[in-house]
Structures are given as structure tokens and as C-alpha cells.
Amino acid sequence: MLAAHQGVFLKIFSRALVYGIMYVPKWGDLVSFSAQTKNELARVVGSKDCCKLAELSALFRMDGSIQISGRRIYINVLNENAAVARKIFSLVREVFGAQAEVLVKRKSKLRKNNIYLVRVPPQEKTGEVLTALGLMDESGSLLKNVKKDFLRKECCRRSYLRGAFLGGGSVNNPEGTYHFEIITNNEDHAGDIIKFMRRFRLEAKINSRKNWFVIYLKESEQIISCLNIMGAHNALLDFENKRIYKGMRNQINRLVNCETANLNKTVNASVQQLESIMRIKSAVGLDKLPPALQQVAEARINNPDASLRELGDMLDPKLGKSGVNHRLKKIEEFADKI
């Protein structure tokens, strides 16, 4: 079994945080939407014991640590979210029948919100808990990779992914950029999470950020699929509504910009045409123009804001847009010669 050392903390899991010693903030955390999503997922509980075990294993790997004091072994799990801490506490008692306690500490820096520590105190079931969660083998050696049993069933894969997100994930508000991520400081565990996601056809990518490994999705459809897989259906609907609204707003902006550009182009062309016509009128008079060009020039003077198509409809006989444009070009050429 594990060697006992007085006052030793073993950081064995992906986001091991030592209570009272160190706190590592989550990257890219947009509290509002991420917190809503996590609060919803904290209420989602697998119907089978294997699913509960898989989710607990992910939570312990993401945020857990082992504290060895003499021959006493404590299992600690830290989380910022109260609902997630309650879920860990409930699952430990429900799945293992083990004693657990929740401690609350208020941070002195950053946003000064609470940190919740779920602690499994020394008891006979401690070794059983670590072994069942796939964190330690029967000989007492710590395991780096996820227990293969959790990969076999789809329900367990969903639960594990949910636990990993609750332990170290965030998702941006869809009103901004689309971004979903799970962070870990364990490269082996990052590779395992990628395997879980790709079994659901989620094309997750990974990059390193200082001492962290970031598994991320940036496509909105992929993020929606991931939320559905984890069971965050309300967050999914909220995400989809905001995405549709954002798409419509962007489309309207594009149309308005296009109309504005066309209007500016029409106005600028009209101003240039009027300048040419007035130059001819003041220099030699419009009667020096051929009748066809004179008709178009007078129509433009009387209707400075009209489009080429509207000018063509005013002529007798009516003229198409290209015909009106051709005559106006001729007028500008005539003016340039003056």
C-alpha cells in the first residue's frame, strides 16, 4: 500500500489542488454561462452505478489530491462550484457508503468567492474507493490512465465527460466567440479525454498553455453536440437560441452594410453626374447635347436621388438601366472635353 509520511500531500490527479496551500484559477472562465451549465449538470445523475462511478472518477482525477498524515490517508477534492461539491459529497456516500465532509474556505484574492473541499477522512473504505475509481491498483500503485471499464459503455463515457467538465471545464457565452474547453495538467489524462470525446465524433483538439493541457472545441455544432452528450439540455437550448439570434443579427448587419454601401455608391455617382451636367450647362448649355443625352441630363437634374432604373422609367420611351448608364457616361465624357 501507499507509504505513510507525516504531513505529505500527493498531487496524483489532473488538477490536484492542495487545500489551504494553493489555488489554480480556471482558464477562460466566463462565469455566467459556464456556471449555469455546471449547475445544471450537477443535477444530472446517472441511472446506473457504473455511470456514477465513472463521473466520480473524472471529478477525482481533475480536482483531487491525497493527503498522508502519519498513517492516516485523506482524499480531498476541491471545486469552486457549491452544486458540484454537493454532488461529489452525495455520490461518495451513495456509491461507497463512505463518510465524507464538506469544508468551505473563502479566497482572499481574485473574486473572493468560496472554495469547497470535499474530504473523505481516513476509514476502512479508503483503499476501496481509490481502487474502484481506477486511481490506484490493488498493489497500492497510483495509475496514470483512466480505467478502461469507463470506455466500454456509452453511458459511462457520457458520465466521465460530464465529470471532467465539472472538474475543469468552461464554455464561453455564445453571444461572444464559440469556445469549449477542459484543462488538465496531466498529459496522459488529456489524451484519455480526447479519446472519450472522439468516441462521440467530437473533433476535439489539444494545445499546451504554460503547464496546462487544453482540450477544446471551437465549432458551434460540436459544442452543441458535447452539451447534449453531457446532459446539459437547458444550456444547449440557451446556446442554440443565442446562436440563432447572433446569426440573424449578423445577417441583418451584413444586409444593412450592403445597402448602405450601395446607397453611398449611388449618391456618389449621382453627385458626379450632376457636376458634369452643370459644367456643360454653364459652359455651353444643355442644348448642345444630342437629344437623347439632353433628355437624360434633364431627368437627372430633376431627380438627383433616383437610381438608374428609376431614371430609365421616367424617359419616353423608357430605357433600361444599362442604357441610362451608357448615356450618362457619354455626358461625363462630353463634360471632360470642356
Averaged over 264-269, what is the pLDDT?
Answer: 81
Does residue 83 register a pLDDT over 80? yes
Does residue 159 register a pLDDT over 80? yes
The reported pLDDT for the residue numbered 214 is 94
Contacts (Cβ under 8 Å, ≥6 apart) of 89 = 100, 101, 102, 118
Does residue 29 register a pLDDT over 60? no
The reported pLDDT for the residue numbered 14 is 45
Distance CA 310, CA 9 (A): 82
Q: Note the pLDDT tens digit of each residue in 201-219.
A: 999 999 988 889 999 999 9
Cα radius of gyration rounded to whole Å, the chain: 34
Q: Note the pLDDT tens digit of each residue in 274-310.
A: 888 888 888 888 887 888 888 888 888 888 878 888 8
* 200 band by pLDDT with thresholds 50, 70 and 90: very high
The reported pLDDT for the residue numbered 19 is 32
Distance CA 246, CA 204 (A): 24
Side-chain half-sphere of 110: how many Cα atoms within 13 Å? 11
Q: Which residue has the cell 490517508?
A: 73
* 108 band by pLDDT with thresholds 50, 70 and 90: low
**Cβ–Cβ < 8 Å for 167, 59:** yes
Domain at 8-231, CATH from 3.10.28.10, 1.10.3720.10, 2.60.260.20, 3.40.50.450: 3.10.28.10
* 10 band by pLDDT with thresholds 50, 70 and 90: very low
Instruction: Give the best-scoring range by mean pLDDT among 11-25, 101-115, 248-262.
Output: 248-262
Domain definitions of the chain by residue range: 8-231, 265-337
* 12 band by pLDDT with thresholds 50, 70 and 90: very low
Q: Which is higher by pLDDT, 189 or 2?
A: 189
Does residue 22 register a pLDDT over 60? no
The reported pLDDT for the residue numbered 110 is 55
